[in-house]
Chains A and B, each alone.
Chain A
Amino acid sequence: MSGGAPERWAVEVRGLVKAFDHRPVLRGVDLRVRAGETLAVLGANGSGKTTLLRLIATLSSPTRGSVTWFGEPSAPLPEIRRRIGLVPHESLLYDALTVEENLKFFGGLYDLAPERVESALDEYGLRPLALRRVRVLSRGQRQQVNLARALLHDPELLILDEPYTGLDVGAADRLTATLRASAARGCTVILTTHDPDGAGALGADVTVMLDGRLTEIMPAAGLDAAILAAWFREGRR
């Protein structure tokens, strides 16, 4: 973003430290994500990516450091939560309810009109599945419903934890298309992934979690050999 216009940050993370029972997982993360940007966080398993996402999603509070959302340091948390959508690694759907019942319930939590659920069913291609119970859906279908759940209230910030894991090619392409469409609407997207090429396909910039800290943000193509080597080293540890 060039020019003199002030930058709008969807998320600003400063000096973030998160420890679980004295074991620091994040050791001083600094991150600023521009509004409307798509950012992929790469890193080994257990490197702290999920912890970072939970902090950005307001589900967890920092041991030290701060997270500011939408450039409004004093906004109350419920207001911020209303503007965030999260797709965690685990499904948040109720297996015993149908797709439609699930979406109606989650829409209700955000006080959305029932028509919004109807339009979301069409928008995300879920109409044929509407009356099926979530229990009988495939992993890809379930992911699609989870995504619809997270996008139901038109969040300004969408956070996804390893959304591509376990998806077949078709489902992965559908996911990419949905994420690109959201980004095109101005939604900021932050996701974690193992796959730098996938991040490239999304048009995302990337940053790598190494030793509890994040590298500079760079284009997916700009990942150099040294960073990749460090990342794989950490993965083996």
Chain B
Amino acid sequence: MRVVRLLVGKDLRLEWRGREIVSAMGLLALLLAIVLGATRSGPEAAPAAMWVTYAFGATLGFTRTFTLERDHLTALLLAPLDRGLIFAAKALTNWLGLVVVQVISLPLFGALFTETIWTRLPALAIPMLLGGVGLAAVGTLFGGLIVQARLREALLPILMLPVVLPLVIAAVGATTGILDGLPLWAIGAQLQLLLVFDIIFVTASFLLFEYVVEE
């Protein structure tokens, strides 16, 4: 835990100095929200627009975090740390970045799509958090996988989007239910899927990450 805090603290400090990732991710998210809103802005389009935005924001940001770390990975691998901790820290940083994107794009979805977002905020937080964790787990694993590959900016969405599609389907379903005013038990299946997805992919990524960074 101490090590994870150290690694995440370092990442956040670096990001605070440069603000590269959050500004790129955030700007893309705002643009996507506007493009999607300009083409179709009814309340019924809101859930899909939100999750398309988050998924694309994630693919952009998550390639970047590992690219930034690439030259320093040697130092982390050299230290007496479990590789799983390096994954955990990176995934946590990525997830925090995604949360920032989710938060700053919310007002736009509220303004362009539906004001219901504001009244249902506490319930909405549940799929946003669960979905964000899954996106961060898969994105961090794949992001680490392809740091050395050519065309990695194109490769991450190609690899990540099909794998996270079930998550997006469930998250959109849950978000739709919440915005339609359904009680939480009515979207239990969707939330369950999100939770199972998170558990499976956080565990698998944690275990597989060792093979990602080895030489």
Contacts and interface: CB of A to CB of B under 8 A. Distances in A.
B144 to A, nearest CB: 16
B40 interface: no
Interface in A57-105: 57-61, 78-79, 81-82, 84, 86, 88, 90-94, 96-97, 101, 105
Interface string A24-66: 0000000000000000000000000000001001111100000
A61 B215 contact: yes
B72 A92 contact: yes
A110 B79 contact: yes
Interface in B156-207: none
Interface string B1-44: 01100100010011001100000000000000000000000000
A92 B74 contact: yes
A59 B74 contact: yes
Contacts, number: 59
A200 interface: no
Interface residues of B, number: 21
B85 to A, nearest CB: 10
Given A54-B215, A92-B72, A92-B74, A109 B79 contact: yes
A235 interface: no
The bracket for how many chain A residues form the interface is 20 to 34
- Which of B17, B74, B80 is most buried by chain A, counting CB atoms within 10 A of its CB? B80
- Which of B17, B79, B214 is most buried by chain A, counting CB atoms within 10 A of its CB? B79
A60 B14 contact: no
Nearest to B75: A92
Nearest to B82: A78
A166 interface: no
A106 interface: yes
A114 interface: no
A96 B14 contact: yes
A60 B78 contact: no
Contacts of B80: 78-79, 81-82, 109-110
Contacts of A54: 215
Interface in B59-83: 71-72, 74-82
Contacts of B79: 81, 106, 109-110
Nearest to A105: B10
A111 B79 CA distance: 10
Contacts of B74: 59, 86, 88, 90, 92
22 contacts: A54-B215, A59-B74, A59-B78, A61-B214, A61-B215, A78-B80, A79-B80, A81-B78, A81-B80, A82-B80, A86-B78, A92-B72, A96-B14, A97-B10, A97-B13, A105-B10, A106-B75, A106-B79, A108-B6, A109-B80, A109-B81, A111-B2
Given A90-B71, A108-B3, A149-B75, 17 more contacts: A54-B215, A58-B78, A59-B78, A78-B82, A81-B78, A92-B74, A92-B75, A94-B10, A94-B72, A96-B14, A97-B13, A97-B14, A105-B10, A106-B75, A109-B79, A109-B80, A110-B80
